[in-house]
Structure 1
């Protein structure tokens, strides 16, 4: 009876490492990619999605930090979704390369088609083909794949 009781908490805690590691790696890679392609003020744009467009032109350090924190909240949220889904869909861990890359595409689509239109500046495009291809590839390789790999390597 005690073995069954102990197995439940250990089973659930087995997701903490892949969520934290996958979210940290994916968030870091994505932020570096954003810095390279759009400049060091990208966190201000992320913060503007929550507090309003005035944040883009703000010189306050807390706005920049808020954007960085929000960026990592999204990354950890994505890692949490993938890892929690893997408990029911075991193939997510077994086929982590393909599933992780498709998950990256899903993250991109949710961000561009749901989150950005609903944020404070209601961004809905227009999107260029280059932006779409680059965004999908970045999300596949730098977000989905590290999250899938972290589940495979660090998940229970």
Structure 2
């Protein structure tokens, strides 16, 4: 991994993570939940129900976990793009598809295998908005950053 690749992971993962968590906090507020509660819910994937008794430190852990996962997804996309450069030819399409894949992976694999204390649900409004968020606010910035990194790496070669 070169500096452009690392930059793409950090930039794409950070932008995607920020946009996604801002959407999640906004939607949680619409439903009457506080940002602390939402971030504790993120931490509950690691800590289970105990996350809700942890206050601000656990909320901070939830935020850190959220960004760590965002960076991991960005790294995965870049690794795929290095093997399949066609992924970066159309970053909007690739990002939308990657975001949909992330949505499904999180809902069907990661959450059920974690300590998340609730059954995963697919309530219509929340599902549609979360899917759109993952597609447009999460997948697209990651694909865009990967495209830029590969263009920079190609230009320097």
Q: Normalising TM by the smaller chain, what interval?
A: 0.7 to 0.9
Q: Is the 8 A contact 2:44 2:117 kept in 1?
A: no
Question: Aligned pair count?
Answer: 145
Matched with 2:31 is: none
Shift, 1:153, TM fit = 2.2
Per-residue displacement from partner, 1:131-154 (whole Å, max 9, x unpaired)? 221111000010000001111223
Q: 2:124 aligns with which of 121, 124, 129?
A: 129
Residue of structure 2 aligned with 1:68, choices 63, 66, 72: 63
| DSSP-derived class of the 2:120 partner | coil
Contact 1:24 1:76 in 2 (8 A): yes
- Indicate conservation of the 8 Å contact 2:99/2:134, yes or no: yes
Structure 1 distance, partners of 2:147, 2:121, is 37
Q: Provide the rounded CA distance (Å) in 2 between the counterparts of 1:120 and 1:37.
A: 23
Task: Please give the TM-score of this superposition, normalised by the length of structure 1.
Answer: 0.86
CA deviations 1:55-91 (Å, max 9, x no partner) are 12332x2211110000001100010000011011111
Please give the root-mean-square deviation of Cα atoms over the aligned residues, in Å.
1.5
> Displacement, 1:119?
1.3
Unaligned segments of structure 1, at least 5 residues: 1-10
Determine which structure has more spread, i.e. the larger CA radius of gyration: 1
Deviation, 1:122, is 4.9
On the 8 A contact 1:22/1:149 being kept in 2, the answer is yes
Residue pair 2:49, 2:117 contacting (<8 A) in 1 also: no
Task: For 2:120 and 2:46, locate their aligned partners in 1 and report how far apart those are by CA, in whole Å.
Answer: 18
TM-score normalised over the length of structure 2:
0.86
Q: Report the Cα offset of residue 15 of structure 1.
A: 0.9
- 2:110 pairs with one of 103, 109, 115: 115
1:45 aligns with 2:41: yes
What is the aligned counterpart of 2:25 among 32, 35, 48? 35
Structure 2 gap segments, 5+ residues each: 29-33
